[in-house]
Amino acid sequence: MKISIAMATYNGANFVSEQLESFRRQTRLPDELIITDDCSTDGTIDILNKFKDSAPFKVKIYINEANLGYTQNFNKSLELCTGDLIFLSDQDDVWFPTKIEHMLNLTVQFPDKDLFMVNAELTDVNLKKSGLTKQGQIRDLGMKDSTFVMGCCIAVKKRYIDLILPIPKNFLGHDDWIVNIADMLNIKYIDSSIQQYYRIHGNNTSTFIANTLVKMVKPKITLIEKFSMRLHFSKISFFNNFILKKRYFLFPLERLSKETDYSSAKDALVLVQNSIKIYEQRLLVLKSKNIVYRVFNALQLYFNGGYNAANGFKSCVSDIFRS
């Protein structure tokens, strides 16, 4: 199996050398490293070229003519990869020597999966170990594993990635795009093995709450705090954003359901379509100025099962009295 690494860089001179050297130390070397640089203005390009000259595998460097932003920069890097299995790489982490070999073995153990994720230990800027992991932080917060979408922990089969690219230009987060669709298709496998360091510093592109060196504890929110949060939370704005994001997934799911052997694609498409429809109906409830129409629309949606996946009657009442 041919192995590619898709790496997106931008002003990474402070850390990128350590990540590149961790590729060189892999027990199973990659066959190619594809780097797309997003118009760096520091010494990143010089570091990349120096590594290219001595690397024991093929290295291709592409410099963007204009700054694309990290999502589209990764999109370009992924499109240029030719390997059967593609690893995504940030510029500031450090991989353990066994990462590629370990994840390659996962593809053999779970041939029905197309996307694989491993765990990462959180470190400070100097790679000082914290004893905390990304997956552990998520679980300590009481969140589901489905919220684990860390791009730098991913290896993905090319047959899948080719079908879901390009990432829409207005969609924020290459990893959200890749992992969310894989979740819908049930082709994602999460392995708890720690195979890299995730360096925490002031310029990380991800601001997710679990990316912190402080041990996460599920927050105990008081009734007063809940009331205060609700006063400042716009359900209409949240629902609009939710619908917009879900609509982005319609095209790739329609394509997957028609052109591929992904048996779950049609069911995933129906679920997304139904989800959009329900949230559009809930928006009608929220936007109703007349309380009689608001109650009628909410109860009609409730008895039609529209609140089954949203805390049932509690959400129905909430929609009636708060927008």
Residue 118: predicted pLDDT: 97
Residue with tokens 């009636």: 320
Average pLDDT, the chain: 89
Mean pLDDT, to the nearest integer, of 106-113? 97
Residue 123 β-bridge partners = 129, 199
Measure the CA–CA gap between 260 and 253, rounded to whole angstroms.
10
Residue 261: predicted pLDDT: 84
Of the listed ranges 2-16, 57-71, 93-107, 256-270, the least confidently predicted one is 256-270
Q: How far is CA 241 from CA 70, 235, 253, 280, in A?
A: 21, 10, 19, 11
Residue 229: predicted pLDDT: 47
Mean pLDDT, to the nearest integer, of 18-42? 97
Confidence band (pLDDT; 50, 70, 90) for 49? Answer: very high
Confidence band (pLDDT; 50, 70, 90) for 233? Answer: low
What is the pTM assigned to this prediction?
0.86
Question: Most confidently modeled of 22-36, 160-174, 268-282?
Answer: 22-36
Confidence band (pLDDT; 50, 70, 90) for 202? Answer: low
Dihedral-angle region of residue 39 (phi above 0 means left; psi in -120 to 50 means alpha; beta otherwise)? left
Task: Answer yes or no: is pLDDT of 221 > 60.
Answer: no
Confidence band (pLDDT; 50, 70, 90) for 253? Answer: very high
Q: In the chain, list all ranges with CATH 3.90.550.10.
A: 3-199
User: For domain 3-199, which architecture applies?
Assistant: Alpha-Beta Complex (3.90)
Of the listed ranges 139-148, 160-169, 266-275, the least confidently predicted one is 139-148
Mean pLDDT, to the nearest integer, of 240-265? 92
Residue 214: predicted pLDDT: 59
Residue 207: predicted pLDDT: 47
Residue partners of 145: CB distance under 8 A and separation at least 6: 135, 138, 139, 190
Token digits of residue 128: 């000082």
Residue 77: predicted pLDDT: 98
Q: Which long-range contacts (CB under 8 A, 24 or more apart) does 108-112 make?
A: 110/189, 112/187
Q: What burial letters (b/e) apply to 192-215, b meaning 16+ CB within 10 Å?
A: eebbbbbbbeeeeebeeebbeeee
Q: pLDDT digits over 159-192, tens only? A: 999 999 999 999 999 999 999 999 999 999 999 9
